[in-house]
Structure 1
């Protein structure tokens, strides 16, 4: 594993483990044709799920979702290079509808799910940053609410974040007064999130229950 803080200062959430092709196929019946990374940092290629482009064609042969490969870090149509991904891998849910990098995807209902085996965050309780791996206690994927984009640089995606105040796991992570966490969705909301409207999207952005998460020090 790369040094935890050599990239991006341990920012929220800059590092996660994604599923392998065979795991995606087992879970969703399909996986991207392109090569994808499983140890993911901004700018790397990972998998995301969106509503199938032809899902409204009343064709029973069309899957309701598709699993695509894209750059971790949203690349809007005006992006000149993939280096922008280093600052667009997370989107604050409270301001995503307004920020130039994200507002097109939000306005056009380009909501996606990002499957993660686990995410990595720095725990500061000792006064030193301790790399901590966070996953679901039941071993299932963490399905993170996100936005996707498609432009001259190909497909890309970002993870939405929200306030983590009072969360018994996530409020220990990151230095400073403000605490953030990625928006992990419960299974009952996967389909609704993919079909959400810009006006209702924030209804789905809630803290994932702490008792359903496991945090293990890796540093």
Structure 2
């Protein structure tokens, strides 16, 4: 899964990188090195501009709330549980199906965090210890330093308890699409620890390489097989992963130091 990521690039950089035509400076977000569910995040998407006479899709940089609320939901309470959509079933699940065919986006990131258990639970059981070991966080990022373009979906939800003109009457929310983690060797592996992403966690965000960006964002593309091909895992060996401090586990911690590489995993003590 993907439950935490980093997004520190400036909107001015993202608009150039993704060839964005429209961005509202009033929607500027501060750099975030510890993005958690329900936070606002940047998303690149294509849709007609509101109230524009020309209904052509325009590539935009928008801010969305992470945690998708389906348009038919009665309340937004389940948003924190809808942060991920599985690539294998995204075209079938009622919560994601309509967005998959009509509202796709790219969620730009520096990389994502994933936690790996250092001790074997069987060994703990044999030792008579019932508590789990502290998990070691890893930061996973493109080895060449490029943007991590995560495949995403977005949706709009209307809060019927508020009048139409209320600024919070509409929610714009999103999910990250995930797939099976790569089993191929990492482009750069830590001296100690996992040699492949699957060693850390069985799932990972779908990484869209630049050659897939236009097709993924194009709302005119509605063929299911073509869209599913776009969320197939890219060529392996593009990523690196390295251990970072457990401070990232607390969402209140936020700063570039969370991405600093440790020489070795922290000692896995019980808590």
TM range (shorter): 0.7 to 0.9
- Does structure 1 conserve the Cα–Cα contact (< 8 Å) formed by 2:48 and 2:57? no
- SS of the aligned residue for 1:201 comes to helix
Of 71, 78, 82, 1:88 maps to 82
Give the alignment of 1:107-118 within 5 angstroms: 107=101, 109-118=102-111
Give the alignment of 1:153-192 within 5 angstroms: 153-164=170-181, 166-168=183-185, 169-174=196-201, 179-192=202-215
Of 61, 65, 79, 1:67 maps to 61
Q: Where does structure 2 lack aligned partners over 5 or more consecutive residues?
A: 121-132, 159-169, 186-195, 246-271
Corresponding position: 1:207 with 2:233:
yes
Of 173, 197, 209, 2:222 maps to 197
- 1:90 to 1:139, Cα distance in 2 relative to 1, 3 A: same
In the alignment, the residues of structure 1 paired with residue 99 and residue 57 of structure 2 have an alpha-carbon distance, to the nearest angstrom, of: 22
Q: TM-score, normalised by structure 2?
A: 0.65
Corresponding position: 1:13 with 2:2:
yes
How many equivalent pairs are there?
A: 199
What does residue 142 of structure 1 align with? 148
Give the alignment of 1:24-39 within 5 angstroms: 24-28=14-18, 29=20, 31-32=23-24, 33-36=26-29, 38=32, 39=34
The Cα RMSD (Å) is 2.6
In the alignment, the residues of structure 1 paired with residue 211 and residue 119 of structure 2 have an alpha-carbon distance, to the nearest angstrom, of: 37
Q: Where does structure 1 lack aligned partners over 5 or more consecutive residues?
A: 1-11
Of 43, 54, 73, 2:38 maps to 43
In the alignment, the residues of structure 2 paired with residue 95 and residue 154 of structure 1 have an alpha-carbon distance, to the nearest angstrom, of: 24
In the alignment, the residues of structure 1 paired with residue 69 and residue 198 of structure 2 have an alpha-carbon distance, to the nearest angstrom, of: 29
- SS of the aligned residue for 2:78 comes to helix
**Cα deviation code 1:39-70 (max 9, x no counterpart):** 3111000011111425xx997xx884111100
- Does structure 2 conserve the Cα–Cα contact (< 8 Å) formed by 1:165 and 1:171? yes
In the alignment, the residues of structure 1 paired with residue 146 and residue 72 of structure 2 have an alpha-carbon distance, to the nearest angstrom, of: 36
- Does structure 1 conserve the Cα–Cα contact (< 8 Å) formed by 2:108 and 2:148? yes
Q: TM-score, normalised by structure 1?
A: 0.79
In the alignment, the residues of structure 2 paired with residue 98 and residue 21 of structure 1 have an alpha-carbon distance, to the nearest angstrom, of: 33
Corresponding position: 1:218 with 2:218:
no
Quote the offset at 1:79 in angstroms: 3.2
